[in-house]
Amino acid sequence: MKIFKLNKEDPVQVGSVVRYKDSNNNKKVGEVCSILGDGASEKYELIMYDKRLKPIMSADSKFKRKTVKSDRCKLIDENFKFNITDNFELGDVICKSSGFIKRYGIIVGFIHPDGLYTTSYEHGYNGVDLLECVEIHKRGLQRKRDVLGKVKRFTTSKSNIKCCEVDLWNRTGPKIVTK
């Protein structure tokens, strides 16, 4: 769990982001969606966040919620930013640079280097898996194809990789912007 700057002066309100300890004393993050009770018996109903700090959804597309006692929660400063590094998701646009050569791609899968079962699909990128990508052009974002017309793919590790943003409103068409 990343270390966040805590805010000890302001009260917790609906919409506040808090760090809490679950029943196993693990630190987790959630967003307060309602306050139940008052005084010593005050509890917060939280929308649970995963390790990537995104809301966890159940199979029926509803947010997973948890009720936690107020004394187990600490308010996170409102000016914090989710600073997530080395976390990749399916569909992320990446740039791999090796020397002067840059390759752009979209992540389409995770592969364990030893051929074992990967947990990156269920729990988020684990930092060990290789990233399987479809190679794309920087301008226009079309998939690159080989001589036979098959889509070009490449597999890479997390070294020399940067996540990119896509500028859809560029005057010359969609374009990849490196962060």
Long-range interactions of 124-130: CB distance < 8 A, separation 24+: 124/50, 124/51, 124/52, 124/87, 124/89, 125/86, 125/87, 125/88, 125/89, 127/86, 127/158, 130/155, 130/156, 130/157
Q: Mean of the pLDDT values across residues 2-22?
A: 76
Q: Mean of the pLDDT values across residues 4-10?
A: 69
Residue 87 identity (one-letter amino acid): N
- Note the pLDDT tens digit of each residue in 16-66: 888 888 778 788 888 889 888 887 788 899 988 877 677 888 878 788 898
Q: Average pLDDT over the chain, rounded to whole?
A: 84
The answer on pLDDT for 93 being more than 80 is: yes
What pTM, to 2 d.p., does this model score? 0.56
Q: Mean of the pLDDT values across residues 76-87?
A: 60
Q: What are phi and psi of 121, to 5 degrees?
A: -70, -35
Token pair for residue 171?
Answer: 């005057």
Please state the length of the chain.
179
CB contact set of 101 (below 8 Å; sequence gap of 6+):
none
